[in-house]
Amino acid sequence: MPQPISMALDGIKVLDLTRLLPGAFCSQMLADLGADVLKIEQPDGGDYNRSFPPLNRAESGSFLLLNRNKKSLTLNLKTEMGKEILRRLARDADVLLEGFRPGVMDRLGLSFEHLSQENPRLIYCAITGYGQDGPSRLKPGHDLNYMAEAGALQLFGRAGEGPIVPGLSIADVGGGSLMASTAILAALIARGRTNKGQLVDVSMHDGTMTWLSLHAADQFFAGIEPKGGERPFIGQAPCYNIYACADGKHVALGIIEAHFWHRFCDAVGLPDLKDRQWPTGRECEEHKRRISDLFASRTRDAWLAALAEADIPLGPVLSIEEAFADPHARHRAMLRSVEHPVEGEIPQIGFPVKYSDTPCAIRSAPPLLGQHTDEVLAAIGFDQAAIERLRREKVI
């Protein structure tokens, strides 16, 4: 009989104390890779994201897309027994993930310094807005604040109109979730050499700043502040822009290389623009107007069909419905589903990475609040009578 294929993070135990998006996205990636993720939630309502609209039946749609492959334990960390239960769980954990403001876990006696005394191999990852130290460490904030203060928000918008609210949570996911998951995986590799865990301090503000490498070059090396619509790759260049078509739909023209630009100009009958790929000033606006008028003369799909043989970086601006129905996304299994005990069959976004030997899998639906409380507590030594007592005392 062939042996079942293991998953990349089989055997790794993760305690997730976070709420909302950054921590949930991070721990779901770890869970999809095979980690045993225990979501620890406050008894009275749990993760705030459970109630965010839109709701499916009883649970938030965004919660259902961020919490598969996890278990849920309710635990009141303001009680002494709640703290003791977390300490017991941490003794056998590989990773603890939290998203409280700096100092909160220390006041509870549950900081890295406290828990690492009992489990020196524990990797303790704290995702915060501004990090564990520095003048802004205690400031409240969300994605928009971190984007603004990292110098990233000014990259979004039209020339001369100021910044806009980005449509994706770039600081939360790009600066928080992805940085934290990468850092945790690296810390696990380091622990394999040192046999010691460590504190991983993830700042969403810092993480967002690292995404500026391309645009910071303007400021660092040319003294130019890049702003939305005013630099080549953020809305200025005619060859790298978005154009409306006759049906109100849009196409994205993403040309950088000269040979692609030459092909485009020949294909659409604008050969005089071939030697002027990167115009500036009034010439830039005139070229954009000419291309805009051109695309406005046909529907989106007509243009895609007409230019299909040109082999250029041109694609449709898809709605979310269109994107998940696209044949390529379907082929890559980017839309999946799972059966939930209350919500029924629910859609799930697929895995972005495909492994040849340790594939990701949906092993369980997002958990009900506290669904695994009794199971988890029994595994660390509580009998049923003790569990019921904890419930009466509102520890769980």
CB-facing half-sphere around the CA of 89: CA atoms within 13 A: 30
State the catalytic residue, choosing from 16, 143, 172, 218. 172
What's the gap between Cα 135 and its chain centre?
A: 26
- Has 262 been annotated as catalytic? no
The domain segmentation of the chain, as residue ranges, is 13-211+329-392, 250-316
Give per-residue burial for 344-371: e unless 16+ CB within 10 Å, then b: eebebebbeeeeeeebbebebbbbbbbb
Distance CA 4, CA 46 (A): 35
- In three-state secondary structure terms, 21 is helix
Between the alpha carbon of residue 117 and those of residues 16, 110, 127, 151, 335, the distances in Å are 19, 11, 21, 39, 43
* pLDDT for 2: 43
What stretches of 310-375 adopt beta strand conformation (E)? 314-316, 335-340, 344-349
State the catalytic residue, choosing from 114, 142, 250, 262. 142
- Has 331 been annotated as catalytic? no
Between the alpha carbon of residue 270 and those of residues 41, 91, 255, 266, 288, the distances in Å are 60, 68, 15, 6, 12
Region of 272 on the Ramachandran plot (φ > 0 left; ψ -120 to 50 alpha; else beta): alpha
Per-residue pLDDT of the chain (396 residues; tens, 9 = 90+): 344 558 999 999 999 999 999 999 999 999 999 999 999 999 999 999 999 999 999 999 999 999 999 999 999 999 999 999 999 999 999 999 999 999 999 999 999 999 999 999 999 999 999 999 999 999 999 999 999 999 999 999 999 999 999 999 999 999 999 999 999 999 999 999 999 999 999 999 999 999 999 999 999 999 999 999 999 999 999 999 999 999 999 999 999 999 999 999 999 999 999 999 999 999 999 999 999 999 999 999 999 999 999 999 999 999 999 999 999 999 999 999 999 999 999 999 999 999 988 999 999 999 999 999 999 999 999 999 999 999 999 999
Distance CA 20, CA 49 (A): 5
Residue range 294-311, pLDDT digits in tens: 999 999 999 999 999 999
Distance CA 320, CA 324 (A): 6
| pTM for this entry | 0.92
**Which H helix or E strand runs over 306?**
helix 300-306
**Which H helix or E strand runs over 180?**
helix 178-194
Question: Across-strand partners of 252?
Answer: 242, 315
Q: Class assignment of domain 13-211+329-392? A: alpha beta
Distance CA 325, CA 334 (A): 10
Distance CA 37, CA 71 (A): 6
